[in-house]
Amino acid sequence: MTTTLASANALLPKMVESVHLLVSTESPTSDLVACAHIAEVAAKLTSEWLGSPARVEVHDGCPVVRWGPEHPEILLLGHLDTVWPVGTLSRLPSQLIDDQLTGPGVFDMKAGIVQALAAVSLLIDEGAKVGSVGILLTSDEETGSRASRKVIASTITSATAVLVFEPSAGGALKTERKGTSWYRIKFHGRAAHAGLDPERGVNATVEAAAFVMATQSWGNQDAGTTVTPTLLNSGTTANTVPFLAELTLDVRAWSAGEQQRVDSCVRTWQGTHPEARIEIDGGIDRP
């Protein structure tokens, strides 16, 4: 069996069309309706590419697309969700410019999904036996795969290889990834009028700001450990001392030891006001 480059190149127009279809179907992780819709679109697309039906399953509210056996020997794994909110297409449409596809989710990772479909399609056309190959597409990867993690784990019990078609920087093959930790942190203070009696308040925003500044010393460039405050919300009105601030923290590290070190920094941090209180949700997610 010889799969030629010419055979692969012949699929390019169909691949471009398929990527355009997926990218034009917006699918932010938090929008379950949008994710359910793209799951249906992807299942139909998979069936068309591979000549046998794909199926949509829902696990803890999270739709996944599955093709092939429940427990394949080789699993092609991907995700349909993106970080881009609905409406992004209005300013960043899916289009082909000078042989380069653009649009929300092209790189991460809708083009990779189509590459996986094309690869299996080529094998089928060449007469290869693909009965031990499976495809699983999830829709909550961008937020940590909390719902689909058990599905992935149960699917790969008999697998000898799992191939993920999400590229690294510059389109390179990704052979490893950092461990991740996610934290959602609430800083509790006490509200007061900012003009009449601010001294009666406990400013949750100030506590959050102090925490954010502390995180800047927790990373380790030599070890490749990054600690990144991402989302921050606080306050209710312009003239009120905030009683609550909420922060999301993203941690990436190459070793479990580094993850544990940063986790200790998060949990042992001492606030600036004795009456402020910190509430930590989350922790080490993927080693």
Mean pLDDT by 10 residues, the chain (287 residues): 77 96 97 98 98 97 96 97 97 92 95 97 92 97 91 95 89 83 97 96 98 98 97 96 98 97 98 96 90
User: Of 196, 201, 180, nearest to 245 (Cα)?
Assistant: 201
The helix/strand/coil state of 107 is: helix
Closest to 228 in 3D by CA, of 211, 215, 246, 214: 215
Dist. CA 19–CA 114, nearest whole Å: 6
| Cβ–Cβ under 8 Å, residues 27 and 82 | yes
**Within a 10 A sphere around the Cβ of 89, how many other Cβ atoms?**
15
Contact criterion met (CB below 8 Å) for 259 and 284: yes
User: What is the per-residue pLDDT for 168?
Assistant: 85
- Please report the pLDDT score of residue 1 as a whole number: 47
Pairing of strands 179-188, 240-241: unpaired
Which residues of the chain are in CATH 3.40.630.10 domains?
A: 5-171
Which of 10, 11, 1 lies closest to 118, judged by CA?
Answer: 11
CATH 3.30.70.360 residue ranges for the chain: 179-286
What fold, for 5-171?
Aminopeptidase (3.40.630)
Query: What's the gap between Cα 188 and its chain centre?
Result: 29
User: What CA–CA distance (Å, rounded) separates 228 from 249?
Assistant: 6
pLDDT of 271 reads 94
Q: Give the orientation angle of helix 32-50 with respect to helix 111-125, to 10 degrees.
A: 20
Determine the pLDDT at residue 174: 78
User: What confidence score (pLDDT) does residue 175 get?
Assistant: 77
Q: State residue 170's pLDDT score.
A: 79
Give, to the nearest 10 degrees, the angle between helix 111-125 and helix 12-23: 140
* Calpha distance 253→230 (Å, rounded): 17
| Residues 49, 67 contacting (CB under 8 angstroms) | no
* Collapsed DSSP state (helix, strand, coil) of residue 143: helix
SS3 assignment, position 224: coil
Q: State the pLDDT at residue 2.
A: 56
Residue 74 phi/psi, 5-degree rounding, is -125, 120
Q: What pLDDT does residue 3 have?
A: 58
Q: Domain 179-286's class?
A: alpha beta
